[in-house]
Chain A
């Protein structure tokens, strides 16, 4: 029967489970995100570097193609911690822009249009809403970060053989763990910015500016007071320290991975506090 002839009847059928309901928000959000041309374009551009890295891995594993090159150069082009460090640095940069572009479109419109009471009047808690939004951003950024990183690692294992995997399996784990840490920070920054600034475009600019501002402030502190701990205020620098430690690459001068992790934990706590304060179905004016 045509729907306009059917009339409204209450639904009395079976209900879906908790996890199916949890995944409703990410499903709809991903669909909406990839309808945005800029997001799609930036995602595609983000694959250029992994493709170049794929070529690099192929070349390093086919020495016959590199005959005639300088021996020092041949020793330099290795798939090791430094290679993955550079890969992560570039992809991490793309992730910043992608998070700033797509992240605020998830929460800012809900806040601007007062949609939170509609969500929270359903079997969805504030935390599951925030977690669902986090899943959306992390899922989207994963496509251009640790997933291609893991593919590169797998490619290297496939070409170099099992001995390489046994000697370097920590690199694969470092890529996944290191990227997930970075994605968590990017996602929380995007969510906190869009929770605070309800206007999507401004929220995107704020979430991008936070990294530049903190980098500037940390450099200023280091230069003015002639210290190195100022770097701890820069989450990008701290994450890079953690990455380098995980990948076994030499660390630059400054606080170690432990101090960097502590500063990142404080930064994450601060972001979660902002989100907790702002993501409420009703705002109580005290």
Chain B
């Protein structure tokens, strides 16, 4: 099977009227057929939706080139669209249709034969939790149900790539969890590539393997979230009492490196594969009393804030503060 980048942008420029929204973006995101999720992050007005609409062929680039699943967004969109599912941000449905008829029609439009389209419509409605309401007209659905119906129509034809624009917008916590679970299942169980556009960092962090951060129509950061998680998991802040002069020499025993800040305070970087428990053993052997051990996860929020220019460096480096996800032990 041929593999392509899911999204390939080459100096992509997009204008809306006279205003240039995307200023020459160049990047390659994801690999087709790998079942990975790409997150598109950015504050309001960063150009996320414009990028998605361009990738879908709804907006014409004013310069450069955009390819999706290896196909040009300007010239090969007919073929590309049969392999893409799109869930728009706003309400989008055909009000006078029942959910099952709506999905059947959408599946047939994507090229499924009528019988298969009907089967898939029923299957996918049960999958997203609308099985019992599938014969109700869509206009009678609640907002959360409409969101699920939008997701259902995006995957009814079994696309290679699903583009989700703010999928959890307006959902209550339970519905949000369900939506994210479905997105995770789509990539892990069905092998679909997913492109998620959101301004909610937690959603991206939870389901995505790769993230692109947009700001003012340009990419300011592109990261592999899995690698980021791994690398940031090894950052430890330690505060001990006792004679810690030998600690610097002892740290290499566990493959770690550290810097003393004086007063028993240490900053330690653990290499990949070494867990924080190794520090406990080391301090025990050095007869040190641990007063504080903070194992910080450099979350996507920090990456995002750094990319936005709100932070010069990781907050913990200058002024540590309690956060969710921290492991903090004080003796």
Q: Which residues of A contact B (CB under 8 A)?
A: 3-4, 6-16, 21, 24-25, 28, 32, 109-110, 112-115, 117-125, 280-282, 284-286
When A and B form their complex, which 3 residue pairs have the shortest distance between CB atoms, in order from nearest?
Answer: A10-B158, A15-B111, A8-B127
User: Which of A13, A21, A32 lies in contact with B108, CB distance below 8 A?
Assistant: A21
Q: Which residues of B have CB within 8 Å of A11?
A: 107, 112, 116, 120, 157-158
Chain B residues, Cβ within 8 Å of A12 = 158
Structural contact, A121 and B124, CB atoms closer than 8 A: no
Determine whether the beta carbon of A282 is less than 8 Å from that of B59: yes
Q: Are B190 and A10 in contact (CB under 8 A)?
A: yes
Known: A6-B123, A286-B18. 11 other contacts (CB 8 A): A7-B123, A7-B127, A113-B95, A117-B92, A121-B56, A121-B81, A123-B110, A125-B78, A282-B59, A284-B17, A286-B16
Mostly helix, strand, loop or mixed at chain A's interface? loop
* Sample (21) of A-B pairs whose CB atoms are under 8 Å apart: A3-B131, A6-B123, A8-B123, A8-B124, A10-B190, A10-B191, A11-B157, A11-B158, A13-B113, A16-B108, A32-B97, A113-B92, A114-B91, A115-B93, A117-B92, A121-B88, A121-B163, A122-B82, A123-B79, A123-B110, A282-B59
Q: Which residues of B contact A114 (CB under 8 A)?
A: 88, 90-93
B105 CB within 8 Å of chain A: yes
A15 touching B112 by the CB < 8 A rule?
yes
Docked complex Cα distance between A68 and B273 (Å): 112
Assess A25 versus B109: contact at CB under 8 Å? Given A8-B190, A122-B82.
Answer: yes
Q: Which bucket holds chain B's interface residue count? A: 35 or more
B201 interface residue per 8 A CB criterion: no
Which residues 83-131 in B have Cβ within 8 Å of A in the complex?
84-86, 88, 90-97, 101, 105-113, 116, 119-120, 122-124, 126-127, 131
* Of A7, A21, A117, A286, most B-chain CB atoms within 10 Å: A117
CA A114 to CA B158, docked complex, whole Å: 23
- Is A113 a contact of B190 with CB atoms below 8 Å? no
Taking CB atoms, residues of chain A closer than 8 Å to B131 are 3-4
Q: What is the CB-to-nearest-CB distance from A70 to chain B, in angstroms, rounded to a whole number?
A: 56
Whether, in the assembled complex, B135 has its beta carbon less than 8 Å from a beta carbon of chain A, the answer is no
Question: Is A123 a contact of B113 with CB atoms below 8 Å?
Answer: no
B153 close to A281 (CB less than 8 A): no
Whole-angstrom CA separation of A33 from B107 in the bound complex: 21
8 A Cβ contacts from B57-81 to A: 57-59, 78-79, 81
**B53 at interface by CB-CB < 8 Å:** yes
Q: Is the CB of A16 within 8 A of B113?
A: yes
In the complex, how many angstroms separate the beta carbon of B27 from the nearest chain A beta carbon? Answer: 22
Are B110 and A122 neighbours in the complex by a CB distance under 8 Å? yes
